[in-house]
Amino acid sequence: MTNRLSTLLGDRAAVLDGGYGWLLQERGLPPGECAESWNVTHPEAVAALHEEYAAAGAGIITTNTFGATEPRLAAHGWSGRAEEVNRAAAEIARGVASRHGALVAGNLGPTGELLEPLGTLSADDVRALYAEQVRGLVAGGVDLVLVETMSDLDETRAAIAAVREVAPDLPVVATMSFDTNLRTMMGVTPAAAVTALAEAGADGVGANCGRGPDEMRVIAQQLVDARPDDVLLVVQSNAGLPELDGDRFVYTVGPDEMAAHAAELRGLGIDVVGSCCGSDPAHTKAVASALA
């Protein structure tokens, strides 16, 4: 069976973009304010950041919707507006991507809620929350969906199921964060994630966020060793860990080091590479150049 993500990528650069939330804060988003609300209130600022990433060589740009499920929006006073916020985000990204020949990935992050038996939500509840988000993203024109920074396999499966329900033909990528002794916070290993999420219907599986390139190298090898034949592998590392410099946090891995890391990942067999927290368009440009 042909992998939908591979078909969609075609001859585009298999390079994802980088961080959004922290960069929007650098560009004026007040601390504690909902980054996703800027899709409605400051669309020009979000579009400008997409433009920088696309110009830097990202073949895939992600929507500013990491926290745009109902529970997370409600915590910021945006209850009932998930579909609106997600559609606005997708339309902004679509406008930029179309000018550059890039793809748009609708971004789904964790709901922030625990599933039964640890929490109160069932898998069906979570699927419905993600389905609302995906409806907005699809209406705004996304090409694929990226489920990222996940810890819980059941929540991730629910997100994949929501995509399959709302947009059965869209490719879906699912990445987990293995930042606790090379496991997710819920104890999932990279090998277990690849197996389970491929079975759940993901076209791409992998890792994002984490503790930086050194740990990500080990995680990537475990992903490669467990890879089924019919999925692509996707990795987006943080630019190291933040360190306090005066009154602000700075990340320790610069563009050149991230580029070397990207080349190493490609050599291991990782298909799609991007970067995550602490990265910016300069990191993306370096990664795209290293993989060209």
pLDDT in tens, 254-282: 999 999 999 999 999 999 999 999 999 99
**d(Cα 61, Cα 142) in Å, to the nearest integer?**
10
Contacts 24+ apart (CB under 8 A), 74-81: 75/112, 76/33, 76/34, 76/37, 77/34, 78/34, 78/36, 78/37, 81/40
**d(Cα 188, Cα 180) in Å, to the nearest integer?**
10
Please give the model's pTM, rounded to 2 decimal places.
0.96
Residue 7: per-residue pLDDT: 95
Domains of the chain, first to last: 4-291 (3.20.20.330)
Highest mean pLDDT among 56-65, 113-122, 238-247: 56-65
Percentage of the chain lying above the pLDDT 70 cut: 100
* Location of structure tokens 């073949």: 59
**d(Cα 34, Cα 71) in Å, to the nearest integer?**
12
Backbone angles phi, psi at 13, to 5 degrees: -65, 125
Q: Could you tell me the maximum CA-CA distance found in the chain, to the nearest angstrom?
A: 53
Residue 283: per-residue pLDDT: 97
